[in-house]
Structure 1
Amino acid sequence: MNVLLTNDDGVDAPGLDALYNELSAVAEVTVVAPADNQSGAGRTNSHRVAVDDHERGFVVHGTPCDCVAVGLQALDPTPELVVSGCNAGPNFGAHKLDRSGTVGAAKEAVYLGVPGIAISAYDPVAGGLREFEREDFANPARVARYLVENADSIGSGTYLNVNVPTRERDSRIRITRPTRDFDVRIEKDGEEAGFAVVDQFYDPLRGDRPEELDDPKGTDRRALADGEISVSPLGVGHELKRSDRLSNVADTFG
């Protein structure tokens, strides 16, 4: 299998290195990664990018989505799978997926007709609130290899959002859906004429854990709280929400 490997932390990130070494044992891996950190880029793309050669593939002076577009349209042979990561910190919750460059690259792959896998590492105790070392990515890379070896099970039009604990133990893979619990709080920004927008999202890995976790089994947040490997198989199509009232509004226009 030909695999395009990218990330949002930049071509020199240890998480990318860990995935490259592990996946190269089971696939032909070509790196097409950003020149620098693009965390939070989501599915942002650029109108024009410069591309440099790299010992493992190419360096793109742009976003993760630019990397996927360049790789899928310009590489020969064309990759059959895009793997993005490994991110230093988790990506979970429906609101967060569109903000993540790691996830954005996997979604971009699906739009371009190729399955994608987004891999993120999390510390079951500290979450993402610490510096990640190269060895922290060993377990996520092992899981990524397993999923690549079973890539034919992903299905057309699907990408996997995967969060893996850094500590190898008897973790099981849990098939999950993104939790949709989210709100924001607006605070006056000191004496300046501005406001701070603060995410109101309960994160069990951040220490703000309530007495009982209200997420049922099956959500990604619950899986992370339980120290499991969360795999969310997701599509990219926008779901049509039918409304008789809106149809009536359209019918009576003019």
Structure 2
Amino acid sequence: MNVLVTNDDGVDAPGIDALYNELSVVADVTVVAPADNQSGAGRTNSHKVAVDNHERGLVVHGTPCDCVAVGLQTLDPTPDLVVSGCNAGPNFGAHKLDRSGTVGAAKEAVYLGVPGIAISAYDPIRGGQREFEREDFALPSRIARYLVENADSIGSGTYLNVNVPTVERTVPIQITRPTRDFGVRIERDKNDDGFAVVDQFYDPLRGDRPEELDDPKGTDRRALADGEISISPLGVGHERKRSDDLSKLADAFR
């Protein structure tokens, strides 16, 4: 299998190094990664990017989605699969998926006709609130290898959002769906006339877990709170919502 590996932490990040070494055991791996940190880029594309050669593939002066587009359109043979990561910190919750460059790369792959896997590492105690070392990506990389070896199970038009704890022991895998509760709070900055937009999203890995976790089994946040591996199989289609009122509005236009 030919695998394109990218990330949003930059080509020199320890997570992509761990992923490359692990996947190279079972696949022909080419790295096409951003020149620098692109965390939070989501599915942003650049109109024009510079590309440099790298000992493992290519360095793109752009976003993770730029990397996927460049790799899928220029590499020969065309990659069969895109794996994005390993991200230093979790990516969970429906609101986070379109903001994450790691997840955005996997989603972009599906739009371009190739399955994608986004791999993120999380500390089950501290979440992403620390510096991650090379050894932290051992289990996330091993899970990525397991999924690549079983890529036929992913399915057409699907990308996987995978969150794996930074532990040495084996932990269970849960097939999950993204949790959806989310809000924002607007705060006035005391030092100037601006405003800050603050996510209101309870994060069990940030230390704000309530006594009773109301997330049911099967949600990604519950899996992470329990220190498990979360795999959310997702699609890219935008569902059409039926609206009789909008249909009447359209019919009434003259």
Separation in structure 1 between the aligned mates of residue 253 and residue 113 of structure 2, nearest angstrom:
38
1:167-197 deviations in whole A, cap 9, x for unaligned?
A: 0324111000000010111111115222111
Q: CA RMSD in A?
A: 0.6
* TM-score of the aligned structures, taking structure 2 as reference length: 0.99
**Structure 1 runs not aligned, ≥5 long:** none
Letter in 1 for 2:112: L
Identity of aligned residues (%): 87
The CA distance in 2 between the partners of 1:207 and 1:192, in whole Å, is 30
- For residues 170 and 118 of structure 2, the distance between their equivalents in structure 1, rounded to whole angstroms, comes to 22
Q: Distance in 2 between matches of 1:222 and 1:191?
A: 38
Alignment of 1:62-211 (within 5 A): 62-211=62-211
Aligned to 2:239: 239
The aligned residue for residue 55 of structure 1 is 55
Structure 2, unmatched stretches of 5+, are none
CA distance in 1, matches of 2:181, 2:171: 25
Counterpart Cα distance in 2 of 1:230 and 1:170: 13
Aligned structure 1 segments of 4 or more residues deviating by more than 3 angstroms:
none
Q: Quote the Cα distance in structure 2 between the aligned partners of 1:57 and 1:189.
A: 44
Query: Aligned partners of 1:175, 1:81: CA distance in 2, in Å?
Result: 20
Q: Does 1:31 align with 2:46?
A: no
SS at match of 1:205: helix
Residues 69-97 of structure 1: per-residue CA shift (max 9 Å, x gap) = 00000100000000000000000000000
TM-score (norm 1): 0.99
* Alignment pair present for 1:252 and 2:219: no
User: In the alignment, residue 139 of structure 1 is paired with which amino acid?
Assistant: L
Name the aligned partner's letter for residue 184 of structure 1: V
In 1, distance between residues paired with 2:66 and 2:166?
29
User: Aligned partners of 1:29 and 1:182: how far apart in 2?
Assistant: 37
Equivalent-residue separation in structure 1 for 2:190 and 2:53 (angstroms): 47
2: CA distance, partners of 1:134 / 1:81: 24
